[in-house]
């Protein structure tokens, strides 16, 4: 990635001049991370357009979380990160990342608004299950895909990621057609076709004192995560 060329104060004003709260939240990250600053400079027009189109505080938090995931990816120096490389406005992953010599994978980001629901063994898992099903439709078929999920502040839902996926698999095994039609699929087979595109999911807990991540690897993935990539993704942010 190219070295930054725009003075930092001018870059922050260009990106977030219309939103001082976002500037206050993301600005220090631009100061602390030269790689994130270079990324923001390369994609400044996209970020500025998103920042200017924010409708409310929740959408501002969504964008802040999306940029926080970009920062997290860039902290791994073996990752080269592209932003919305499939085009703006399309149902496609947020980031395309290159690891090692040409190994590519997609990253789709979803922040759960409000408190995360905790699923029971038989009950509908709520927000998390809806988020997963919604995002499956954005995953391309020909390469590895990661889903990164998070929520504001501490959350016990970190430990529910694997049970949610197991719950989905169980409902598909029982051919619960109505459930998957309700979630936007043509049925169980259509769900499984999209589900197999998901290589893994990462829950990110943004606790300043102890940031945590929880990686789930899809045993049914057509493109599974190699062990070294899984380790790189699951390392705590520095």
Asked whether the predicted pLDDT for residue 211 surpasses 60, the reply is no
pLDDT of residue 115: 52
pLDDT of residue 224: 97
Q: Give the DSSP H/E element, type plus range, for residue 98.
A: strand 95-99
pLDDT of residue 91: 78
Three-state secondary structure call for residue 99: strand
The residue whose two tokens read 């009950």 is: 123
Long-range (24+ apart) CB contacts under 8 A made by 20-27 are 21/60, 22/51, 22/54, 22/60, 22/63, 22/64, 25/64, 26/64, 26/67
CA atoms of 152 and 47, how far apart (whole Å): 21
Answer for the pair 21, 54: CB distance below 8 angstroms, yes or no.
no
Tokens representing residue 96 in the block: 């395309």
* Mean pLDDT of the chain, nearest integer: 87
pLDDT of residue 124: 38
CA atoms of 98 and 57, how far apart (whole Å): 32
pLDDT class of 237 with cuts at 50, 70, 90: low
**Could you tell me which residue, 139 or 205, shows the higher pLDDT?**
139
**Could you tell me which residue, 208 or 204, shows the higher pLDDT?**
204
Closest by Cα among 42, 51, 46, 56 to 16: 51
pTM: 0.89
Asked whether the predicted pLDDT for residue 121 surpasses 50, the reply is no
pLDDT of residue 238: 56
CA atoms of 125 and 116, how far apart (whole Å): 10
CA atoms of 194 and 74, how far apart (whole Å): 28
Give 136-194 pLDDT, tens digit per residue: 999 999 999 999 998 776 555 557 888 999 999 999 999 999 999 999 999 999 999 99
CA atoms of 222 and 213, how far apart (whole Å): 24
For range 199-215, the mean pLDDT: 75
């Amino acid at each position: 990635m190219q070295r930054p060329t725009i003075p930092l104060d001018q870059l922050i004003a260009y990106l977030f001049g219309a939103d001082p709260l976002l500037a206050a939240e993301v600005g220090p990250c631009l100061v602390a991370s030269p790689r994130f600053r270079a990324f923001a400079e390369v994609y400044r027009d996209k970020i500025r357009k998103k920042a200017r189109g924010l409708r409310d505080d929740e959408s501002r938090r969504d964008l802040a979380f999306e940029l926080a995931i970009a920062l997290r990816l860039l902290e791994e120096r073996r990752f080269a990160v592209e932003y919305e490389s499939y085009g703006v406005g399309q149902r496609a992953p947020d980031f395309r990342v290159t690891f090692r010599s040409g190994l590519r994978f997609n990253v789709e980001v979803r922040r759960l608004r409000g408190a995360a629901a905790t699923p029971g063994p038989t009950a509908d898992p709520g927000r998390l299950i809806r988020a997963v099903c919604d995002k499956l439709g954005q995953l391309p078929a020909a390469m590895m895909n990661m889903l990164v999920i998070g929520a504001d502040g501490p959350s016990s839902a970190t430990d529910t990621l694997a049970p949610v996926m197991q719950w989905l698999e169980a409902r598909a095994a029982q051919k619960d057609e109505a459930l998957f039609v309700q979630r936007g699929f043509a049925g169980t087979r259509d769900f499984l076709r999209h589900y197999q595109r998901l290589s893994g999911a990462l829950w990110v807990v943004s606790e300043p004192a102890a940031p945590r991540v929880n990686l789930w690897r899809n045993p049914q993935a057509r493109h599974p995560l190699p062990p070294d990539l899984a380790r790189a993704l699951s390392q705590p942010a520095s």
